Amino acid sequence: MDKKIINSDGISEIVTMVLIIVLVIGLALAVYGMIFGSISLNKVSMVAASAGTFFVPLDTSSSMQIMRVTPAIGEDFYIQGQGTVPKNAASTQIAVVSFILRNPQGEIYTVTNGYITGNANKYGTNLYIYKDSSNAFKVTDTLDSISYAPTAIRPFELGDYQITMIDTVAKLPMNIMDVKITGNETSSTGSQASLPLLNVLPNSTWTAHGGVTNTTDPVTGLTMYTFDGSSGYLTSTANPALDFTGDLTLSLWMKPTTTGDSSSSSNWHAIIGKGELIGTNNENDNYQLMQLGDKLLFEWNDATTGEHYQAITENGVLTAGTLQYVTTTVTGGALTIQVNGGSPVALTYNTGNVPGAGDDLTDTPPTVVLANNAHDLMTGKQNAPEDQPQNQFHYSGDMSEVALYNRALTAGEIAHNLNYYKI
């Protein structure tokens, strides 16, 4: 069955008439500027366009919101990088169009070509702006290259964007268009969120230490960080975007090299955390996720009680050499851990920073009130003193798409992420 492309904002005849009026007004203003203002050496081409969004299906039940620009009427133009652009385009004043994008934080990005077919003057043809797997912004006039390869695109952050259509010959803007990324589909097929990742990567600067390599997984197309288990780890400087005192979702793909007996400290490995081990017994964690053999552990310092708590999966949930999607969620003070979008797994709770050694609180789990700290974020190693290598718990294996959300993801959103990054 072919995938259906959902147009969330198509052009109507009324909109086309409005664009024609805008074009006429623009031409009048250009003439006025030439008579009463300074005259540009290069004529500015006139192209009227509108902008909106499209939802690109990722599978039978989920979709991704991307942007679209639709040129409606105007002069001849080509798209920068298009193979059919005449060599003498600049001398003959044929417009060569490019795009720049301003994100909700006001940062400016150049939009480069993804794939453009050979036809010029794409009036009435949607041009799609999307984010590729390297987080670069691309434009294409065909959805085939992205709708049938969902791992090739990444979700936009929610918020207000501005698309500027540039005449690269005159080096002046043609159109400035506002687009809002909402993540919500409003078609008759029902609501489907495309999630904005509060990724640690764009919010922080990673520094790699020791044995960490960066590869592309041949099956999923995901960018994988591989940790050697003895010296490799990543650090990211303290950043307010990484501080959590309320709801939280920590989401990642992981493929541990080994699992083993969860009670043996030789099988304990730090996945990601924001905290510090002081001495041997005093631990200060805003949040930390650990691997205990085939189990998972989440630990935190509590802002209300001042205690350090640990929650451990009651049964084994990890498989050595298998890529699995793990989500840890704090919502309204309750903690859940899920693997591959399954039901929340049973947890045991205890006090202290040694797994299972403190008071057993399983019958009355503590309310999770995360206590922030100013420590850096660390992945693949626990932030322990250098003279305590036995407590650094280096991770061995792969990780990908580590993401932090300042809210609890719903079950549907977790399933969306699971389906989006396909195994």
The amino acid present at 423, given as its one-letter code, is: I
**What was the pLDDT predicted at 316?**
96
Architecture of domain 200-420: Sandwich (2.60)
**What was the pLDDT predicted at 40?**
42
**What was the pLDDT predicted at 291?**
98
**What was the pLDDT predicted at 81?**
78
On the question of pLDDT at 332 being above 90, the answer is yes
**Residue 128 in tokens:** 């799609």
**What was the pLDDT predicted at 19?**
59
CB contact set of 218 (below 8 Å; sequence gap of 6+): none
How remote is the C-alpha of 364 from its chain's centroid?
36
Count of C-beta atoms within a 10 Å radius of residue 36: 7
Model confidence at 156, in pLDDT bands (50, 70, 90)? confident
DSSP characters for 230-261? SS-EEEE---GGG--SS-EEEEEEEEES----
CATH 2.60.120.200 location in the chain: 200-420
Q: Model-level pTM greater than 0.75?
A: no
Over residues 289-299, the mean pLDDT reads 98
More confident residue, 300 or 185: 300
On the question of pLDDT at 200 being above 80, the answer is no
In 48-104, which residue ranges form alpha helices assigned H by DSSP?
89-92
- With contact defined as beta carbons under 8 Å apart, do 400 and 420 qualify? no
On the question of pLDDT at 65 being above 50, the answer is yes
**What was the pLDDT predicted at 261?**
95
